[in-house]
Amino acid sequence: GSERDRLMERISDLLRERDAVLVAHYYTDPDLQILADRTGGYVSDSLDMARFGAEHEASTLVVAGVRFMGETAKILTPEKRVLMPDLEATCSLDEGCPPDAFSAWCDRHPDRTVVVYANTSAAVKARADWVVTSSIALDIINHLKARGEKILWGPDKHLGDYLQRETGADMLLWDGSCIVHEEFKGLELEKLRGEHPEAKVLVHPESPRAVVEQADVVGSTSKLLEAVTTMDAREFIVATDAGIFHKMLESAPDKVLLKAPTAGRGATCSSCAHCPWMALNGLHSLLRVLERGDNEIQVDEAVAEKARVSLGRMMDFAR
Ligand code: 13P
Ligand code: SF4
């Protein structure tokens, strides 16, 4: 067999030997998604990755994604060993929200409920009252608004803007963004829609307002995937990381998927709209971590204890 087949076989063996299960995000290399599916692991959005990891009986979780996903798994199940193919896999939202500065901002607004996106460090989650992912953000903000709470939101300003417009909640927004979704362009999208008038537009809410406003469906990666499989349309324009095309084409092979245009590069670029940190997860880095057992996620227990409260609220709400 090929080098790829050999790597995949070796990794499958090691997962079994190490009592480990592979949990991968939709944006990771298709080979990792295939492996997760074949070995009894799971491929999903960030909320369902957390759920699956917390409920699975394996003593080791191998999280293929970015760091906050590994940290979330560790916080929810501290007794498990959580490994990641590459510990450098960060996220621009996490990087743009340093815990000290964020905490000082919270101190200046003691009358507000602090709600943070899951794409943050454990320390930022520890400072928050609630954590949300994109798949449950609208429901939680609506719930808090109904209770009359005013909200301090961080770090994604585009998702915050979307939530505020949808719910009418009183929200102050931190100034953070995702470097991948920020690249989607409203004017170029309008042009592409003109060329494909039948196409449905699917947008992840980390995208700028000019893009979100043109969407037929706005939602988490799993919601966008579901739209491709269930909507009565043949063509889709997709404004999220290109990693998700693997699952979209697997579950709806007869549909036509177009990449939403990104800054100055047009709709045909094959390497745009792909998260550089998600891309650190590959067969080689996965094999290495299973062989060596290094790259273990550690979260300070005092921080984890607090983060478990805000994360736990989300997990309970999601039940
Ligand atoms: P989802 O929760 O929708 O999977 O999003 C995570 C993410 O990082 C999107 O860029
Ligand atoms: Fe973070 Fe954006 Fe990468 Fe998602 S795609 S992990 S939000 S940088």
DSSP 158-177: HHHHHHHHHH---EEE--B-
Whether this prediction's pTM lies above 0.90 is answered by yes
Instruction: State whether 98 and 171 are in the same domain.
Output: yes
Q: Is residue 316 part of a domain?
A: no
Element holding 115 (H helix, E strand): strand 113-117
Instruction: State whether 164 and 103 are in the same domain.
Output: yes
Distance, in Å, from the CA atom of 48 to the CA atom of 51, rounded to the nearest integer, reads 5
Q: Is residue 265 part of a domain?
A: no
pLDDT in tens, 185-237: 999 999 999 999 999 999 999 999 999 999 999 999 999 999 999 999 999 99
Instruction: State whether 141 and 171 are in the same domain.
Output: yes
Q: Is residue 273 part of a domain?
A: no
Number of structural domains found in the chain: 3
Residue numbers of the domain that contains 78: 3-89+278-298
Instruction: State whether 109 and 79 are in the same domain.
Output: no
Q: What is the mean pLDDT of residues 64-73?
A: 98
Q: Is residue 168 part of a domain?
A: yes
- Give yes or no for residue 48 CB within 6 A of ligand 1: no
Could you tell me what percentage of the chain is helix, strand and coil, using 3-state DSSP and rounding each to the nearest 5? 50, 15, 35
Share of the chain above pLDDT 90, in %: 96
- Give yes or no for residue 178 CB within 6 A of ligand 1: yes
Instruction: State whether 37 and 60 are in the same domain.
Output: yes
In this structure, the residue with its CA closest to atom 7 of ligand 2 is 178
Instruction: State whether 125 and 105 are in the same domain.
Output: yes
User: How high is the pLDDT of residue 155?
Assistant: 98
Q: What is the mean pLDDT of residues 55-59?
A: 97
CATH number at residue 154: 3.40.50.10800
User: How high is the pLDDT of residue 150?
Assistant: 98
- Give yes or no for residue 178 CB within 6 A of ligand 2: yes
- Give yes or no for residue 45 CB within 6 A of ligand 1: yes
Element holding 71 (H helix, E strand): helix 67-76
In this structure, the residue with its CA closest to atom 6 of ligand 1 is 46
Instruction: State whether 78 and 123 are in the same domain.
Output: no
Alpha carbon separation from 223 to 152, 203, 230, 239 (Å, rounded): 25, 10, 10, 13
Strands of 147-304, DSSP E: 151-154, 171-173, 200-203, 217-218, 235-239, 256-259
Q: State the DSSP code for 261.
A: P
Which ligand is closest to the CA of 180, given by its number? 2
Which ligand is closest to the CA of 155, given by its number? 2
Candidate from 91, 135, 221 with most ligand 1 atoms within 8 A of CB, to mutate: 221
Q: Is residue 76 part of a domain?
A: yes
